[in-house]
Structure formats: C-alpha cells, structure tokens
Amino acid sequence: MLIESELDLHRLTVDEAIEELELYLYEAFKRRLSLVRINHGKGTGALRQAVHRELRRNSMVKSFRPGGYGEGGVGVTIVEISDK
C-alpha cells in the first residue's frame, strides 16, 4: 500500500473520517513517517474537533498542531508520528 504524507478527509462524515484516520495513522507508523498532514478543512469545525479528539487518544501520535501560515492554517493538522 502506497501511503502519502497527507490524508484528505474532505466530504467525509465524522464516522467515515475517523475510520480513515485510524487506518492512515497505523500505516504511517508502520512506514515510519515522522510528520503527516491531515486535511480536514475549515467548515464548522466539527470534523477538526473529532480528528483532534482521536489524535489525543492514539498512542502512535507523538504530538499535533494546527497548520501554520503556508501549511493550510486551521484547515489542516500537522501530526508527528511516534517512533516507538
């Protein structure tokens, strides 16, 4: 399976997005990616909140932060994958 350093969750329901996110994080960890970008869009913020909730619970996530200037701002989340 080819894994990109970005996951696009646009146009997915929260449940669909969380399922995709869990699979993606597992593959990113397995492939030893250090940083990935989760593109959830701005919208109402419900998807971003659900993604952040999942990232806080996931043991494969070392840290995460909102995208900065030139990275997509609040429409993306930058995730550092654990190396352990």
**Residue carrying structure tokens 């970005």:** 6
Domain hosting 68: range is: 6-81
The H or E element that residue 61 is part of is strand 61-66
Residue 50 counted as domain residue: yes
CATH assignment of the domain containing 48: 3.30.1370.110
Residue 10 counted as domain residue: yes
**Into how many domains does the chain fold?**
1
Residue 31 counted as domain residue: yes
pLDDT in tens, 51-84: 999 999 999 999 999 999 998 999 999 999 998 7
How many other CB atoms are found less than 10 A from the CB of residue 40?
Answer: 26
- Give the pTM: 0.92
